[in-house]
Amino acid sequence: MNSRFAYRRKNWLYIPLIMAAVFYLIPLYLMLATGFKGFEEINLRTMWALPHGLHLDNFIEAYTVLSPYLLNSLNMVFPAAIISSVLGSINGYLLSKWKFKGADTIFLLILFGMFIPYQSILIPLVEFMTRIGLYGSLPGLVLTHVVYGLPITTLTFRNYYSGISNELLEAAKVDGAGMLRIYWSILLPISIPSFVVVLIWQFTQAWNDFLFAVVLTSSRSWPITVALNNMAGSQIIAWNVQMAGSLITALPTLIVYIFLGRYFLRGMMAGALKE
Amino acid sequence: MRSKKEAWLSFLLVLPTILAIGIFVYGFILWTMRVSISQWTGLLPDYTFVGFENYIYLFSTARFQIDITNTLIFTAVFMTGAIGLGFFLAVLLDQGLKGEAFFRSLFLFPMAISYIVTGVVWRWLMNPAQGDRISGFNLLFHNLGLDFLINRWHTTPGWGIAFIAIPAIWQLSGYTMALYLAGLRAIPDQLREAARVDGATEWQIMRYVILPLLKPVTLSAVIIIGHMSLKVFDLIVAVAGKQLALDVPAINMWQTTFDGYYFGVGAAIGVLLLLSVALLIIPYIIYTQKGEANQ
């Protein structure tokens, strides 16, 4: 193609791109600009102005309020993400390479669990958690995230393992390796990228969840999303502190996205049942 | 290729998941259905059978009528916005401009953020206060001399829910963009070249070559965005709290059940939500997984 001409002709395309970029950045700008303002600068009239210097007052105050809940979220997301990923990997392996009778149907039934509106299971979930003594606690929330995370972790690993040639497995079988041996020595070592995808996805889902958290936890075990929402609804906490609190809540998943965005995107695509 | 023993072992190892999903998804759905035809109100479970009374009651309430209208308006605006903007951005990014990776990451970052964070920030961006307490976009419009744009956002009578779709579009248009971009990248260049050689204009290529090939992507986007909008909950709670004018089935279910203790009616809302989502999702799952098997 006559690339130089085409290139020049295309420069105007930056105008809509930059306009779109501004749209996506506005909320981030507001969080940052407000968060870093000093208390004396806080005035609705100057909401859009840049801060004079970087003050940490808002962040310190927001952190003081949110820190116990931040800790709850951290204690909850790691086990939730790790357990559902490990189970998903085993399921994905067996449902793609060692299909028992009805395995494909079972997979479809598992998959449906990914899309259900959780309002349709909330009442039994609360009853069930109460009966097994986990209602109002973090382990109950972890269990919930693990179970409802299984469809997407199973799906992602099943897609990945399906793409691995059967000849490789047959060769290992000829050498006398069994089902578990093949998984452990051959598939697991090459599954690291898929583990990254699934762990990031589950981490983000569990961190960002509000519905399960608000229904299943009590004020001592609230994760940060519930605490932030209460903070925003309270009349006592000023909006500048709310903005700083929002940024603190968003930061862990944002950092993951900034450094591992490629893997995040793959998790997202799996969610649309497309690879 | 595999022995009976191995098939059993495979099944046994998947069994924990089968049981977990069997209980937490299918068992709980049946349980909710049972609650929805019971007269359970108050803290103590009461499974006395009342037929479809809860459903009949639900449809007779003004609140559920509002829920249905709001869901329809929200879905229409959210879907048009997220798919339209996502497609537009994908086409822009497919032109081979410098900095494409940067823009793509930028459009996608809201996906990593909680609806609660989005909602809390947009609560201030869309602050409807005027006069002395003016803030957010209204203040920005005022500062820029665009006072005619100042409006009441999600407190606009009758149409408030349409404005809630704006932060939803902000959050998810990057997702539709990624879907379309993957679709565009899968179209071989030869097809466009061939059309160009035949004298087609860029517009005609888009209309008659590209768009028809992107139909499956649009279907995915419609289904995914559609089922998300049926389930919308956190975002509305974080932007506006629980107000009748912005009520949707998911919030109604939550309040009816856990604030009002009308478990029977709450369960009925849950079942109806599930049915509406299942109508969209089940054909889609079968369609996508069949396609996969044929590949």
Backbone angles phi, psi at B38, to 5 degrees: -115, 165
What mean pLDDT do residues B176-199 have? 91
Residue-level pLDDT at B1: 46
Percent of chain B with pLDDT over 90: 81
Predicted confidence band of residue B14 (pLDDT cuts 50, 70, 90): very high
Does the beta-carbon distance from B124 to A243 stay under 8 Å?
yes
pLDDT of residue A9: 67
Q: What is the CA radius of gyration of chain A?
A: 23
Please report residues of A whose CB lies closer than 8 A to that of B257.
122-123
- Residue B132: what pLDDT? 82
For chain A, the average pLDDT equals 91
pLDDT digits (tens, 9 = 90+) for B188-203: 989 888 998 998 988 8
First-to-final CA distance of chain A: 31
Burial class of B274 by CB neighbour count within 10 A (0 to 12, 13 to 18, 19+): buried
Query: Stretch A182-198: mean pLDDT, rounded?
Result: 93
Q: Please indicate whether, in this complex, the C-beta atoms of B31 and A124 are within 8 angstroms of each other.
A: yes
The predicted model gives B161-180 an average pLDDT of 96
Residue B2: pLDDT over 60: no
Number of residues that make up chain A = 275
pLDDT in tens, B81-113: 999 999 999 999 998 888 999 999 999 999 999
What residues contact residue A264 under an 8 Å CB cut-off, 6+ apart?
A197, A200, A201, A204, A256, A257, B108, B111, B112
Average pLDDT on B65-88 reads: 97
The whole-number pLDDT of residue B291 equals 62
Mean pLDDT of chain B: 93
Chain A, 249 to 268: residues with Cβ < 8 Å from chain B are: 249-250, 253-254, 256-258, 261, 264-265, 268
Burial code of B239-263, b = ≥16 C-beta within 10 A, e = fewer?
Answer: bbeeeeebbbbbbbbbbbbbeeebb
Rg of chain B's alpha carbons, rounded to an integer? 24
In the A/B pair of chains, how many CB contacts fall below 8 A? 270
Confidence of residue A173 (pLDDT cuts 50, 70, 90): confident
3-state SS, residue A217? strand
Element (H, E) at B173: helix B160-185
DSSP state of B23: I
* Window from A18-22, B4-8, B280-284 with minimum mean pLDDT: B4-8
CB contact set of B107 (below 8 Å; sequence gap of 6+) = A20, A21, A24, B89, B173, B174, B177
pLDDT at res. A6 = 52
CB of B104 within 8 A of CB of B182? no
Long-range Cβ contacts of A158-166 (<8 Å, 24+ apart) = A158/A91, A158/A92, A158/A95, A158/A96, A158/A107, A159/A92, A159/A270, A159/A275, A160/A92, A160/A191, A160/A194, A161/A92, A161/A93, A161/A96, A161/A97, A161/A187, A161/A191, A162/A96, A164/A97, A164/A190, A166/A97
Distance CA A51, CA A56 (A): 11
Residues B54 and B37: beta-carbon distance below 8 Å: yes
User: Please, which pLDDT band fits residue A233 given cuts at 50, 70 and 90?
Assistant: confident
Is-contact B235 B167, C-beta < 8 A? yes
Which A-chain residues 184-203 have CB contacts (< 8 A) with chain B? none
What's residue B131's pLDDT?
A: 83
Nearest Cβ partner of B113 from A111, A124, A253? A253
Distance CA A56, CA A38 (A): 7
Q: What residues of chain B lie within 8 A of the CB of A111, using their CB?
A: 285, 289
What is residue A271's predicted lDDT score, i.e. its pLDDT?
A: 75
Residue of B10, B125, B289 with shortest CB distance to A179? B10
Q: Are residues B139 and A45, on separate chains, in Cβ contact within 8 Å?
A: yes
Does the distance separating the beta carbons of A26 and B125 come in below 8 Å?
yes
pLDDT band for position B57 (cuts 50, 70, 90): very high
Report the residue of A119, A179, A274 to disrupt the B interface, i.e. the one with the largest count of B CBs within 10 Å: A119
Q: Which of residues 219-248 of A touch B (CB under 8 A)?
A: 225, 228-229, 232-233, 239, 242-243, 245-246
Name the β-bridge partners of A136: A217
Which residues pair with residue A217 across a beta bridge? A136
* pLDDT bucket at A273, cuts 50 / 70 / 90: confident
What CA–CA distance (Å, rounded) separates A189 from A18?
A: 42
pTM score of the predicted model: 0.93
pLDDT band at B295 (very low <50, low <70, confident <90, very high): very low
B266 contacts A106? CB cut-off 8 A? no
Given this model, what pLDDT does residue A2 score?
43
Q: Decide if pLDDT at A8 tops 60.
A: no
Does residue B292 carry a pLDDT above 70?
no
Residues A91-109 pLDDT 10s: 999 999 999 999 999 999 9
Which of A116, A245, A256 lies nearest to residue B112, judging by beta carbons? A256
Q: Residue B278: closest CA among chain A residues belongs to which residue?
A: A116
Question: pLDDT tens digits, residue range A68-81?
Answer: 999 999 999 999 99
Q: Is the ipTM of this complex over 0.85?
A: yes
The tokens describing A194, both together, are 């898929």
Identity of the residue in A99, A147, A250 whose CB atom sits nearest the CB atom of B117: A250
State mean pLDDT over B4-13: 90
Instruction: Name the pLDDT band for A222 (thresholds 50, 70, 90).
Output: very high
Interface contact flag, A245 B120, Cβ < 8 Å: yes
Asked whether residue A3 carries a pLDDT value surpassing 50, the answer given is: no
Q: What's the pLDDT tens digit per position in B231-265?
A: 999 999 999 988 999 999 999 999 999 999 999 99
> How many C-beta atoms surround the C-beta of residue B44 within 10 A?
8
Residues in chain B closer than 8 A to A21 (CB atoms): 103, 106-107
Q: Please tell me the distance in Å from B159's CA to the nearest CA on chain A.
A: 22
Query: A218: helix, coil or strand?
Result: coil
Burial of B30 (0-12, 13-18, 19+ CB in 10 A): exposed
B187 vs B194: CA distance, rounded Å: 13
Of the ranges A8-17, A177-186, B110-119, the best mean pLDDT one = B110-119
